[in-house]
Structure 1
Amino acid sequence: MNAVRRLNEARQMRFRTHSAWNKSPGRLYVITAYWSDGNVRETDTMARHLNDLPRWIFIAVWILGNVAMFIYTYFKYANSKEFFYLKKILGDSLPWARASAACLNLNCMMVLFPVCRNLMSFLRGSLKHCCTKTVRRQLDKHITFHKYIAYMICLHTAIHIGAHVFNVERMFVAHNVSNGLLSALSNLDDMNAGQTAVNPVRDASQDPTLFGVKTLAGISGLVATIALILILSSSTEIIRRSYFEVFWFTHHLFVIFFIGIIIHGIGRLVRRQTNVADHDPEYCVSRYDLWGSTQEIRCPLPQFAGSPPATWQWVVGPLALYLLERLVRFIRSRQQVVITKVVKHPSNVFELQMKKKGFTMAPGQYIFLHCPKLSYLEWHPFTLTSAPEDDYFSVHVRRVGNWTNALAKECHVDEIEFKEAWKLPRVAVDGPFGTATEDIFSYEVDVFVAAGIGVTPFASVLKHVWSRKQEGDSKLKHVYFYWICAEMNAFEWMHDLLRFYDKQMVDADHRDFLKYFVYLTRGWDMNMAKSIVKHDEDVYDSVTGLHQKTHFGRPNWDLILPKIAQDHKGKKIGVFFCGPSALSSVLHKACNQYSSLEGAKFYYNKENF
C-alpha cells in the first residue's frame, strides 16, 4: 500500500503543477507552494529578511552608489564654469555622457573583484573568525553580483553612446548655425596651434559618422563596445550550458574591452576652460564679439585644454589584483598532478582519482581541470567528489561532450587492461575554490537538496559529514538529503555511496542521523509501477536497491519543511541546494515561508555550478 500511496502522490503532484519551467528531458517543473488546505501562504517578513535582507542591502548600496555618482557628475558638468562653453555647444547631452562615463568607471572597477576566485575563497575563510555566516553567505553570490555589475555596465554604455551621438551631431551643427556665440566658439584657434579650441570638429564638411569613427575615442569605443556585446551575448544560459567553450573564449575579450576603455579618453575631446579666473564665462558669454579686444579687458580669449583620461585610475588596482590572481592560478597549474586511479562507472561516468603535493580541500569545493594534450587553453570546472579525509582528491566526469569524451579516451576508460600512471595524460588543476557547503557544520540540522548533476558536491559533503560524525567532532545532529533525479541510471555511482551509509548507520546505531529521500521525476511507466507494488514489502527498494524507498514525482516542500520545523523546534536549519535556478527559486521561497514556523529558521544556501 505504501507503493500505491507514493504513485498516487506523484500523479497528484502533476496536477498541482502551476507552471512549467522547461519540458525538455531532464528538466524540472516549477511548483506553486500550497498549504495542505490548498491556500497559498504569504511569505513571512521576518523570514524574508533572514535570507534576503543582506543581499538587498548590498544591492541597494551599490545602486545608490551608482545613482549618487551619476547625479554628482551630471550636475558637475551641468553647472561647472569650466564646461560652460562646451555645454553651450553640446547642450544636456554633455552631462549625460560624462555622468554615464563616471558610472562606467565605477562598475568597471568593481566587475573583476567577484571573479577573483582565490580572493573569494580567501575572504570566505578569513571572515569565519570575525563575521557571521549571514555576511559570509553573500560571498557565495559573487557570480550573481558579477552579472548585475555587467548589466549596469551595459546600461551606462548605452547611455554613453547615445549621448555622444548627439554630441558629435551638435559639434557639426555649431559650425553651420547662425548663432553668433556658437560660431565664435567653433572658430577659435586650432587645437594643435594655440590650444584654445573647444570644438574638436575643425572641418564641418566631413561626414559626422566618419569623424566619430576615425577619432581615437571613436575607434577605441567601438572596439570596446563590440567586445562587450560578444561577452554578454555568449554569457546567456543556453550558450554557457550548451557551448561552454564559446562562453569561455569570448569572455576573455574582457582584455580588449579594458584596453579600449583605458585609451578611450587619450584623445581628450572633452575640453574644459583653463582661464576661468581671467575670463568669467557667465559674464563674457554675451560679449563674445569683444573677446580679446582692448574694449573688454575682462574677456580675453577663452583658453581650453582636453580633460586628462581618468579611467585607468579606476581600473589599475583591480587589473593588478586580477593579474596577481592569474599568476597564482598559473603557478598552481604548473604543479605536478598524478592520476592515481581511473574508475569506470555506469551510464558514461568515469572517476579520476588524483594526487597533488600540498593540495587541501573542504567538502563541496570545486576545481578547474586542464589537459594540455587536448587543448592548451581549455579549463573545465568539476566539483570534487572526494572528502578531506581521503588521501586523494577525485572528480566524476560524465561523457557528454567532445572534451569529456576525448579525456575518457586519453585515460583509457573503455580499455579492460590496467594502465600505469605514466601512460595516463598529464593534467593540471586549478583550485580548490570555496563554496557555501563550507558552512555545513554551522548548524545542528542540515537539509541537502540536489537536482540531477547537482548531486555531485554532496558526494564529498556526505563523506565528510559521516566522517566527522564517527569522530564525534561536530555539533551537526541531523541531516536530510533530498535527491531529485530525472533518470536513476545517470548517477548510479551515487547509489553505491548511499548503500555504504545504509550499512554504516545500522552498524553504528545512528539510523536517525542521515535520512535520505530519492525522487524520480520521469523514466517510470506502468510496468515499473506494477513492479514497485509487487516488491513494496521488500527490505530494499526495487529501483535503487537502497533501504529507503524511491518517491515518484517531485518533493512537496509545503509538507516537508513544516515537518522538519516541527521535529526541530527553535533550531537554525541550514538548507543547501545545488541544481537548476527555477527549482532554487521554489525552494528559496519555501524556506522563507516556513522559517517562523515552530520557531525554526531555514537559512538558504545555493551552490553555483
Structure 2
Amino acid sequence: MGNWIVNHGFTAFLLFIWMGINIFLFVWFYFFYDLGDQFIYTRHLLGSALAWARAPAAVLNFNCMLILLPVCRNLLSLIRGTFMCCGRTMRKQIDHNLSFHKLAAYMIGLMTAVHTVAHLLNIEWYNDSIRGDYDALSDALSRLEDEGNTTYLNPIRSNNTTPTHFAFTSLAGITGVIITLSLILIITSSMEVIRRSYFEVFWYTHHLFVVFFIGLVIHGAGRIVRSQQTTDPPHNTSFCFSRPEQWGTIPECPIPQFAGGFPQTWMWVIGPMFLYLCERLLRFIRYMQKVEYRKIVMRPSKVLELQLTKKGFKMDVGQYIFLNCPSISQLEWHPFTMTSAPEEDFFSVHIRSAGDWTDKLISMVQELPEGAQGPKMGVDGPFGTASEDVFDYEVAMLVGAGIGVTPFASIMKSIWYKFKESNPKLRTRKIYFYWLCRETHAFEWFADLLQVLESEMEERGMADFLTYKLFLTGWDKSHATHAMVHFDEDTDIVTGLKQKTHYGRPNWDKEFEQVRKENPTSTVGQFLCGPAVLAKVLEKKCVKYSDVDPRKTRFYFNKENF
C-alpha cells in the first residue's frame, strides 16, 4: 500500500476531491428540488423525476466547466514551464490532462443520460396533466390562466401537443436533442478503435464540441422547470393544496404564479470557453508564422526526419509540437515529439508512416526535387510533457518502444551538448536507456547518436553515466543464429555499437532489481514513450520496487501523453 501511495497518492487525492464535488452537487440539488417549498406544485405534476432531472444538470455544469481546461495546451505548458514553484508531484498531474479530459467526458455522458431520461418522463407527465389524465389539482395546475404567457406551470399549453412535437419545437427540446446527438457522436468517435484506424473521423467529429457548447448555453433559456413565485397576498400552499376549486376566490388562495429559473450554465462555462478561444487564437497566430525547412531526410523503416526553423522558436528537452500541412488538410493538427536538443539552431521531428495523414506527407516529400523546400507547414508549440522533468531526478530510466524513442533522442542530444561544456551542471548522475524495436532497420537512424555518446562518455571517463540496452522483439531463429556466430566481435552486428542487442522482451523485474541495487538511496524517474500495455507493466513495477522510506530507492512513473 505504501509503495502505491508513492506513485499514485496525490493523483488519488485529486480524484477524490473531484468525485466529492460531483457527489455534493448531485445530492445538494437533488434535495433542493425534492424538498423545496417552491417546487411543491411542480413535484405534484412530475414526482421525483424533477429532482432526477435537475441534480444531473448541476453535475453537468461542473464538468462542462472542467472539460476544456485539460486541452488548453498552452495554459498547461505555462503552468508547468513558467510557474516552476509547483513541485514535481504537482507537475505530474498535468501529464494526466487527457486522462482527466476523458474522465470528465464520461461523467458528462452519464449525467446527460440521466438528465435526458428524467426530462422525457417529465414531458410525458406534463402532457398527461394537460389532457386531464390525473386528479383535479393536476388539471388545475396545467390549465392556469397566465399573464403575458409567463406565469404558467405546465410548459405544454395545449392538449393537442404531443411530447415528440414539444421536444422538437420548444427551445429547450430542440437544443437538448442537438446537444445529445453531438455528445453521442463525440464519444463514439473517440473510441480507441476509431481514433487509431480512422483518425480523421475522430478529429472532425470531435469538433462538434462547438455545437455542443453553443446548445448548452442556450438550453437553459427554455426554462421548462418552473417554481412557485411569491404573490401578494401570499398563496398558502399547505392550505390551498387540496382546494384548487377555491383558487382566486378566497384571500388565502390567490391564483399561484410560476416562473422558470434564470439560466446559469453560461456562468459555469464562459471562463473556460474564453480560455479555449484564446488558445485557438494563439494557434492561428502560430500557424501564420513562416516555417522553413533546414533539411529533409528519409530514414529507414519509412521514417521521415524534418529539420525545421521558425523565428523566435524555443524548446526544451522532450517537448512536442503539433504540425499542420494545408496541402493535406486545413484543419488537422497532429502531435510529434521533437528529436532535436535545445542547444541546436533548429528543431526536428521523426515521422513514422502510421495513417493517411503521415502517408500523404511522406509521399509528398519523396516526390520533391533534390534540394527543394517541402510543403507549407504550420507549427503549434512547443508543449511540455513528462520528459521535461528527466533532469530533476538523480537517476532516470528511459524506455522507448519503436518510434517512441523520439523524446529520448532529444534528451540524449542535450546530454551530449552538456558534456561538451567543460563543467556540465547536471543533477542527474545516471541514465538507463531501453529501446524496444520489432525490426532491425528501426535502430539505424538512432544508432549514430548513441555511438557519438558512447565515445564521448569514454573520453571523459564517464562510461558509467549512460547504460543502454537495445531489444529486438521481432526476431526469428536466423537473427539469433547470426548473432551467436558474431557474438565475440567488438561491435554489435545490428547497430554497430559496443552494447550488444538483446533478442526478445526485457525481464523488467530483473532490470528494476538491478537499478535498485545500483542506486540504493536514489529517486528514480521512470519515463516511457510507448503503448498502453507496456505502461501498465512498468507502472506496476514502479509500485512494486518503490520503498516508502525516503532514504531508500523510489521509482516514479511518467508517461508521454498526447
Q: Above 0.5 in TM-score?
A: yes
How many angstroms does 1:209 deviate by?
2.2
How many angstroms does 1:470 deviate by?
4.0
How many angstroms does 1:491 deviate by?
4.5
1:459-516 residue CA offsets vs partner (Å, 9 max, x unmatched): 1111112323443111111000011112232352112222222222222322111111
How many angstroms does 1:319 deviate by?
0.5
Matched residue type, 1:107 = N
How many angstroms does 1:545 deviate by?
2.0
Q: Does 2:425 align with 1:425?
A: no
2:170 is aligned to 215
Paired residue secondary structure (2:243): helix
Separation of aligned partners in 1, 2:344 and 2:156 = 69
Among candidates 161, 183, 190, match of residue 206 of structure 1: 161
Q: Does 2:321 align with 1:367?
A: yes
How many angstroms does 1:190 deviate by?
4.4
How many angstroms does 1:81 deviate by?
1.6
Among candidates 410, 417, 436, match of residue 484 of structure 1: 436
1:528 is aligned to 479
Q: How high is the sequence identity, in percent, across the aligned residues?
A: 49
Among candidates 537, 547, 553, match of residue 600 of structure 1: 553
What is the Cα-based RMSD across aligned positions, in Å?
Answer: 1.7
1:147 is aligned to 102
Separation of aligned partners in 2, 1:135 and 1:285 = 56
Separation of aligned partners in 2, 1:605 and 1:355 = 29
1:306-337 residue CA offsets vs partner (Å, 9 max, x unmatched): 22221111111110111011111111111111
1:306 is aligned to 260
Unaligned runs of 5+ in 1: 1-44
Q: Does 2:244 align with 1:288?
A: yes
Separation of aligned partners in 2, 1:126 and 1:284 = 64
Separation of aligned partners in 2, 1:255 and 1:216 = 18
Unaligned runs of 5+ in 2: none
How many angstroms does 1:192 deviate by?
4.5
Q: Does 2:506 align with 1:555?
A: yes
Q: Does 2:521 align with 1:570?
A: yes
Separation of aligned partners in 2, 1:503 and 1:545 = 13
Paired residue secondary structure (2:457): helix
Separation of aligned partners in 2, 1:145 and 1:497 = 36
1:516 is aligned to 468
Separation of aligned partners in 2, 1:428 and 1:447 = 33
Separation of aligned partners in 1, 2:147 and 2:455 = 84
Higher relative contact order (CA 8 A, sep 6+): 1
Once the two structures are overlaid, the 10-residue window that deviates more, 497-506 or 149-158, is 497-506
Q: Indicate conservation of the 8 Å contact 1:568/1:600, yes or no.
A: yes
How many angstroms does 1:163 deviate by?
0.4
1:436 is aligned to 386
How many angstroms does 1:582 deviate by?
1.3
How many angstroms does 1:355 deviate by?
0.7
Q: Indicate conservation of the 8 Å contact 1:385/1:459, yes or no.
A: yes
How many angstroms does 1:453 deviate by?
2.1
C-alpha distance 345-115 of structure 1, shift in aligned 2 (>3 A): same
Separation of aligned partners in 1, 2:561 and 2:449 = 23
C-alpha distance 74-348 of structure 1, shift in aligned 2 (>3 A): same
How many angstroms does 1:172 deviate by?
1.7
Matched residue type, 1:457 = P
Counting only pairs closer than 5 Å after superposition, residues 246-325 of structure 1 correspond to structure 2 as: 246-275=201-230, 278-293=234-249, 296-325=250-279
Q: Indicate conservation of the 8 Å contact 2:127/2:162, yes or no.
A: no
Once the two structures are overlaid, the 10-residue window that deviates more, 554-563 or 108-117, is 554-563
Number of aligned residue pairs: give it. 556
2:91 is aligned to 136
Q: Indicate conservation of the 8 Å contact 1:441/1:475, yes or no.
A: yes
How many angstroms does 1:593 deviate by?
0.5
1:323-353 residue CA offsets vs partner (Å, 9 max, x unmatched): 0111111111111111111112112122111
Among candidates 22, 28, 40, match of residue 72 of structure 1: 28
Separation of aligned partners in 1, 2:393 and 2:231 = 65
- Deviation above 6 Å: which 4+ runs of structure 1? none
1:500 is aligned to 452
Q: Does 2:135 align with 1:179?
A: yes
Q: Indicate conservation of the 8 Å contact 1:86/1:198, yes or no.
A: yes
Separation of aligned partners in 1, 2:455 and 2:191 = 44
Paired residue secondary structure (1:266): helix
Separation of aligned partners in 2, 1:453 and 1:410 = 21
Q: Indicate conservation of the 8 Å contact 2:307/2:349, yes or no.
A: yes
How many angstroms does 1:286 deviate by?
2.1
Once the two structures are overlaid, the 10-residue window that deviates more, 457-466 or 361-370, is 457-466
Matched residue type, 2:56 = S
C-alpha distance 276-607 of structure 1, shift in aligned 2 (>3 A): farther
What's the TM-score once normalised by structure 2's chain length?
0.96
Separation of aligned partners in 2, 1:313 and 1:224 = 18
Counting only pairs closer than 5 Å after superposition, residues 399-414 of structure 1 correspond to structure 2 as: 399-411=353-365, 413=366
What's the TM-score once normalised by structure 1's chain length?
0.88
Q: Indicate conservation of the 8 Å contact 2:545/2:555, yes or no.
A: yes
Paired residue secondary structure (1:343): strand
How many angstroms does 1:178 deviate by?
4.5
Separation of aligned partners in 2, 1:311 and 1:380 = 32
Separation of aligned partners in 2, 1:583 and 1:409 = 31
Q: Does 2:56 align with 1:100?
A: yes
Q: Does 2:15 align with 1:62?
A: no
1:338-379 residue CA offsets vs partner (Å, 9 max, x unmatched): 111111211212211111111000111111111222222222
Separation of aligned partners in 1, 2:126 and 2:478 = 77
How many angstroms does 1:203 deviate by?
1.9
1:396 is aligned to 350
Paired residue secondary structure (2:336): strand
Counting only pairs closer than 5 Å after superposition, residues 87-126 of structure 1 correspond to structure 2 as: 87-126=43-82
C-alpha distance 521-570 of structure 1, shift in aligned 2 (>3 A): same
How many angstroms does 1:586 deviate by?
0.8
